[in-house]
Structure 1
Amino acid sequence: MREPGCPAPSFAVLGAEGKEGSTSNRTTRKGRSEATWRNMQTSKTHSSESMSKDLSELMKEATKEVHEQAENTPFMMNFQKGQVSLHEFKLVAASLYFIYSALEEESERNKDNPVYAPVYFPAELHRKAALEQDLEYFYGRNWKEEIACPQATQKYVERLHYVGKNQPELLVAHAYTRYLGDLSGGQVLKKIAQKALQLPSTGEGLAFFTFDGVSNATKFKQLYRSRMNALEMDLATKKRVLEEAKKAFLLNIQVFEALQELVSKGQENGHPVQLKAELRTRNINKSYEHGPAHEKESKKINRRHTDMMPITPLVRWILALSFLAMTVTVGLFVM
């Protein structure tokens, strides 16, 4: 009698040579089939074990390759050296305004949806209002008439609206990659931009990087991750969220490319860029409101901005991309 679990004895030894060969082939195929089945089961087990990790860790692992690709570009190194101009900075702020407007509109739409509500932190994280302050500082009161939404940025915006309306669970991927990146790496970028552009020490033009609602960034990020990790998601949903996180990177890359084209053509929001101090008129007007001392300071700032205007289209292209690359890569690196 066979022991439980043992395969039945082969009939090969009992048959003729031809039949023996045929039976042997069947046995071999059976063995291979069982090995394949075992490998599949092992693979499923490993996949399940992998997906049992916290969503925040899975997100970091899933985007590691894209992160490294962006991290190894010369753009990030240029920004770290403080090679950023006012022109590039304004282009970035304008694109970010459209992106965050869409992200936060969909966040509001889903603030009571259990698939997103746990990571809804408007007072601590939302950036639209801060970007409006920055754009008014750089462009003046009529800033909305001065900026335009490039096609690649519009594509990003459309994706955010689609996800928010149809697949709100995927909104978690966009919120995580943007907000925690800004909260982490954004603080490094703030110091670099402030020094490179010689912006006022009082923070004008840098509201985007200032999170007044977060008193302790480290503790808040821990809270955010714990909320995200507590979201109820099956294996299939987790995989879709991870894919969406990678898609968010690809959308950002396309935004980089669009800005590259604008800068290489010497354009800003579809209009030719004039090599002059963009803030001159507005600062002079403010100087009359605040007296001679303020006027003197305004002229000083204007001279600084004029000195920092890009020299060639290639330089402008590199600097614009460097800022956007850093916004994502530095942020995710320290999340």
Structure 2
Amino acid sequence: MLPSLMLFFKCYIPLLTFHTVLLNASLTRDTHEITVLTSTRMVCANIGGFFVWTLIPIFLSIAAGEKIPWEFVFFQFVGSIPGILFMPLVPYVKKLIGKKNMFYVFGLIAIIGNAMIYIVSKSGVQSGDNTWMRVANFVKSTGFTIITGYMWALVPEVISYAEYTTGRRIAGIVNALTGMFFKAGNALGGAIPGFVLQIIDYVAGKEESSTLNKDPKAWFTVLLIYNIVGLVLLIICFIASKERVVMEDKETENVRVSDLWKEFIRNGPLRVIALYFITAFTCMTTQNSSNSYLFGMSSQKASTQEGIRWLASLIPIFFNFLMIIIIYFYSLTDEKIDEINREIEKRNQKDDEVLA
């Protein structure tokens, strides 16, 4: 898969997600409202992902005047369905089984999906044009989309915890740290495929054709259109938005760069989601970078093919297990957060009475 598509996806979706998390944290403390906002936002983000992963190959082929790779397009389409179809159900699932159990259950579903990809690939399937491979991709995406989508709802909880312990709602500090976490995960996830491919003696054969069109003019045209449309939509949304989030002076005064690391050291839940974000984005980037190798390894020797299977499925399984272990140590239950928010509201009410 060409690096340009990966770069576009990694820039577009995390940036969209990051600034809307900041809005979530500023607009409400209510855990149910945060869940609904996060689910709605992630549906929109996944629709954006659909326009990238599923439609860009079509537009590239049209721009280059070549045949559309429908097998690859349909495989990508199947993987994008869960993020649009199931994310609206997250508030109901969370209410039914609980927050942590949701991470456990869908983490296991992602593991099952990756295991299916390994088994199907091991049976000789080396193309996305296979029913069982599509089913495996759907199962994997169902689990991974939920756990990586809902993890953003934990950020406002950590911000409330910081406000409870320090008296300041330092949303900017926590979100700045969160941004560093997913960038670190992207960096690690981008390095792992190259490292593994070097170990397993992967040889890039000239006869192997890429699934995506390589015409630079087609890429420039499509990405230019995407960026212009995205900029126009961003301007429209900014103008149409009536919400203006303004921090009070007491919340922003004396905020220093060193406060980033002080908050990281004293905030236990923040350290947990830091490790979770790094692991999740490492897994995500590794998976996204590996599919093209999985579907183009027919000319490689047997040991190299097995290494590619590990890269595309078993290594992500390891990260999925690690994510389940990490979230086990997250201490902020909904009951605890509700208690914290009530205490914060009492403090604010007392401050308002004093000022009055």
Q: What is the TM-score normalised by the length of structure 1?
A: 0.29
- The structure, 1 or 2, with the larger RCO (C-alpha pairs under 8 Å, 6+ apart) is 1
Q: Which has the higher helix share?
A: 2
